[in-house]
Amino acid sequence: TRRRWTVAVGVAGVVGPAVLRAQPRLRLRLAHVVAPDTPKGLMATRLQALLAQRSEGAVVLDVYPNGSLYSDADELEALQWGAVELLIPSLSKFGRLGTAVFELFDLPFLFADRAAVRRVVEGEWARELFEPLQRHGLLGLGFLDNGFKHMSARTHPLREPRDYRGLRMRVQPSLTIAAQMRALGAYPVMMDFAATRHALARGVVDGTENPLTNFWSGRMHEVQRHLTLSAHGYLGYAVVANATFWAHLPQPERRLIEVALADAIAFGNAMALQQEQRALQALRDDGRIQLHYPSPEEREALRQAMAPADDALAARIGPRWVRAMRERAQ
Ligand code: LMR
């Protein structure tokens, strides 16, 4: 019912909107697992500000960053039972629902650049990928960028495929990413983002892959020694809503949220680019991590070594999907 969605929650650490009326008409909750100054964090606070401004305080979005309310393991479930109204999980995390199509975005060396990402996510085909979410009571509202992922390790520089052999690598819960690590002879270890830094620090895992913004804001440069700017994979997000909540929204509020969301996503995408450059500069200035720039030959060797991941995904969802994504992403 409407009432259920408008219940306010008083939890410490909630980021308050700039404009507040005494009685908000609608209160939404958005949980995420990364820092506020990441593309996703910045997009979330932009959405919060836009909703507050444009509704003059009638629509309030509470943002819970850093896994402070829900973490990877339970956030999708929390969205399904209505404990939050909005989420922005990475596309690599939907496998938990038994929906493997989003792993198409995890295919190695998929997008040549961000323009290629834009072409795919802004096309009608990408919207169709949201359809399976309906079975799970979820509604896909948009895609958000983070950027390209790079490999890191504590022990030694990762230059050639054989450098990965025997390493325990933290991965997101995506069988496609796991297959890439296995193809390199590494052991993929699936774990929550929130647990990753600690696991790296304690040597539970040896290395991982991240976009620069998550690597820097997650302070992984303090617990890794080598970062190879491999750009071997993409990390993006889907903005998803609880479908029942969405269906019960009055039309004006729904429209308000849709428009604000589109603006916040455009802002988040711009931030993804800007924050990535900032993170790289910050890592250079910090100086603790050794940066390695792979040669075209080294990237090609990595691409070839990871290629079996395509077949692994094709075997699960059908070669047609993998072919379609590869064609569109060129
Ligand atoms: C990860 O788990 O590495 C990322 O999906 C975290 C995030 O939300 O950016």
Predicted confidence at residue 19, as pLDDT, reads 52
ipTM for the predicted complex comes to 0.99
Rounded to 5°, the CA angle 106-81-256 comes to: 75
Distance of CA 55 to the CA centre of its chain: 28
* Arithmetic mean of pLDDT over the chain: 93
Confidence check: pLDDT of 269 > 70:
yes
**pLDDT greater than 80 at residue 3:** no
Q: Is the CB of 45 under 6 A from ligand 1?
A: no
pLDDT at site 1: 36
Substitution candidate for ligand 1 out of 30, 34, 208 with most atoms within 8 A of CB: 34
Nearest ligand 1 atom to alpha carbon 214 = 9
- For 132-172, the pLDDT digits (tens) are 999 999 999 999 999 999 999 999 999 999 999 999 999 99
Lowest pLDDT segment from 93-97, 168-172, 305-309: 93-97
pTM (predicted TM-score): 0.92
Phi first, then psi: what are they for 33, rounded to 5°?
A: -110, 0
| Confidence at residue 23, expressed as pLDDT on a 0 to 100 scale | 77
Ligand 1 atom with least separation from CA of 88: 8
Predicted pLDDT at 169: 98
What pLDDT score was predicted for residue 21? 53
pLDDT digits (tens, 9 = 90+) for 9-31: 333 344 455 555 557 899 999 99
pLDDT higher than threshold 50 for residue 199: yes
Give the pLDDT confidence score for residue 24 in this predicted structure: 87
